[in-house]
Chain A
Amino acid sequence: MSVEIHSVHAAHGHGDMAHGEISLSGYLTGFILSVILTAVPFYLVMTGVLGDKKSTALVITAFAAVQIVVHMIFFLHMNTSSEGGWTMMALIFTIIMVMIAMTGSLWVMHHLNVNMMPTHEMGRMQ
């Protein structure tokens, strides 16, 4: 308990708002990385060099995930210590909620679609 109180105090004591450590090199690193991480998926889809659609989809999804992390670190300056760790806690909570909502919706609705009788079959039955 007292440890938490101390860390909040430490955050208060800083003149800058705990998102302090911004630097030119950090922004440039983030920018160059995200240019690469953006250009490659566009190139893959526009030229179709991988051939297989499923593997292309997997690769560009992976690129998006990495780019989101790059933006979080270099542009949003996320770390485990800012605001006494509470920004990270809020982020983790949000990610869990988003995952439950997204996978839940897609899963349930996909099964609904699969189990629905195709319309042309319905037509033949009448």
Chain B
Amino acid sequence: MTINVNPAQASEPVFYLVDEHDHAEGGSTMLGFWIYLMSDCLIFAMLFATYGVLGGNYAAGPAPKDLFDLPLVAVNTSMLLLSSITYGFAMLSMERSRIAATQFWLAITGLFGLAFVGIELSEFHHMIHEGATPQRSAFLSSFFTLVGTHGLHVSFGLVWLTTLMVQVWRHGLIEANKRRLMCLSMFWHFLDVVWIGVFTFVYLLGMLR
């Protein structure tokens, strides 16, 4: 791989590599997926910035204090946090090549994720029922866009999780499935990181406004 330019043999300089060095299959997947996550991070940054700008424009409508139910948000946060640790247990089981344990922890993770989406949907339903729809004010538009985008990510993560459980069930913990599970692990933990921003800047700081 290193271009060995020995002065004695330097009569014919080598400017290119003759052989393509071998890439292990999926060797660049993790870096590529990380770069995808970073671009996703930029999407969320834009939505946070939009919320930061518009979050105080209530248009004489309801303010965060009238709408948010902090104990419910705390429950929701714990759901996501618990799903993060159970996904970690799934990864540890995967490392030890224990299929049943991996599937069990993946299922638990899925249930916590489902609970998170369920609680969020019921919260949205409650808000819309009270007339706090996305059309009501700039605050609510940016709120529903930011929190809804996060919820959508979690929902797609659940679809992905289910798909991978079927894959593991059918093919076992082969290299490709391990790689996919590691990608989903990064995706899942990344969503938890975004949620830290959501509960801090939207819910907690919203209640302080």
Contact = CB atoms under 8 A, between A and B. Distances in A.
Given A2-B2, A22-B88, A105-B53, A41 B204 contact: yes
Interface in A87-126: 87, 90-91, 93-94, 97-98, 101-102, 105-106, 109
Given A22-B95, A38-B81, A90 B34 contact: yes
Interface in A1-35: 2, 5-6, 9, 11-12, 17-19, 22-24, 27-28, 30-31, 34-35
Contact of B91 (A9, A22, A93): A22
A17 B175 CA distance: 10
A16 B196 CA distance: 29
* Interface SS of chain B: helix
A24 B186 CA distance: 17
A61 B190 CA distance: 18
Contact of A19 (B182, B199, B200): B182
Interface string B88-114: 110110010000000000000000000
Interface size on A, as a range, is 35 or more
A17 B182 contact: yes
A90 B37 CA distance: 10
Contacts, number: 130
A68 B193 contact: yes
Contacts of B31: 83, 86-87, 90
Interface string B1-43: 1110000000000000000010110110111001100100110
10 contacts: A22-B95, A27-B88, A38-B199, A42-B74, A42-B204, A57-B205, A71-B193, A87-B34, A101-B42, A102-B52
Interface of A: 2, 5-6, 9, 11-12, 17-19, 22-24, 27-28, 30-31, 34-35, 38, 41-42, 45-46, 53, 56-57, 60-61, 63-64, 67-68, 71-72, 75-76, 83, 86-87, 90-91, 93-94, 97-98, 101-102, 105-106, 109
